[in-house]
Amino acid sequence: MLRDEVNKALEILKNGGLILYPTDTIWGIGCDATNAEAVEKIFKLKGRSEEKSMIVLLENDNKLQSYVREVPEIAYDLIEYAENPLTIIYSGAKNLATNVITKDGSIGIRIVKHDFCEQLIQRFKKPIISTSANVSGEASPANFSEISDTIKQGVDYVVDWEQDSMTKKKSSTIMKLEPGGLFSFIRK
C-alpha cells in the first residue's frame, strides 16, 4: 500500500539514510537534501564527483522561496504549463546541504507530479535529492529492472512501489533560469 511505503521511506530519510524510489521520471536515489552526510553517501554510492550537482525535489512550488533567494516570477508559469517533468536551475540556493549547491551557488529543483513523491516530501517537510539510480558513467535505468545490484544493495531502503512497471521513463528537461527571467535549455 502506498501509505506504508511512504512511512517506511520517511523513517529512512529522517535517520539520514538513502532510498531507491520511483519518481515522475526515472528511478532515483534519494536522501534528505539538507543533510550533508546523507548527500555524501550518495556521491560515494554512485562513484560520482562532488563537482557534479544533483537535483532536488519539492512537492509544491510555494516552497521554492525557502530554498531559492529570488524566484523569478516566470518560474511559476513554466512549472504550471510544462507538459513534461521540468527541472529548473535557480541562482542563489539556500537552506540546503552545502554539497548539494554548485560552486556558482545554483541548484536544480523539480516540482514533482507523482503520488509517492508528493506524499513523501509533504510528510517529510523537507526537499529530497533525486539522482539517477546508476553508478556514475553508466546509462540511466529506464525502469526498475535495469537498476544494478550495486545500487539496490547500496541504499538503506528500496521502495516497493511501481517496481513492476515496464514503462520506459526518461530524465526531466533541464533549464537554467536567471533572476531576470532569461532562460536556456541544458537538456531537452
- At residue 94, the pLDDT reads 98
- % of the chain with per-residue pLDDT over 90: 90
101 has a pLDDT exceeding 90: yes
51 has a pLDDT exceeding 90: no
- % of the chain with per-residue pLDDT over 70: 100
Sorted by sequence, the CB contacts under 8 Å of residue 149 that are 6+ apart come out as none
DSSP letters of the chain?
-HHHHHHHHHHHHHTT--EEE--SSS-EEE-BTT-HHHHHHHHHHHT--TTS--EEEES-GGGGGGTBS---THHHHHHHH-SS-EEEEESSB-SS-TTTS-TTS-EEEEE---HHHHHHHHHHTS-EEEEESS-TTSPPPSSGGGS-HHHHHHSSEE--SSTT------PPEEEEE-TTS-EEEEE-
- At residue 128, the pLDDT reads 98
When the pLDDT of each residue in the chain is averaged and rounded to a whole number, the result is 95
Angstrom distance (rounded) from CA 67 to CA 162: 29
26 has a pLDDT exceeding 90: yes
For 88, phi then psi, to 5°, come to: -110, 130
- At residue 114, the pLDDT reads 95
45 has a pLDDT exceeding 90: yes
- At residue 52, the pLDDT reads 84
What count of other Cβ atoms lies within 10 Å of the Cβ of residue 122? 13
Q: For the chain, which domains are there?
A: 2-187 (3.90.870.10)
Q: Which of these, 124, 61, 121, 129, lies nearest to 100 by C-alpha position?
A: 129
Question: How many C-alpha atoms does 142 have within 13 Å on its Cβ side?
Answer: 4
For 56, phi then psi, to 5°, come to: -115, 140
57 has a pLDDT exceeding 90: yes
Render pLDDT for 126-185 as a digit per residue (tens, 0 to 9). Answer: 999 999 999 999 999 989 999 999 999 999 999 999 999 988 888 899 999 998 889 999
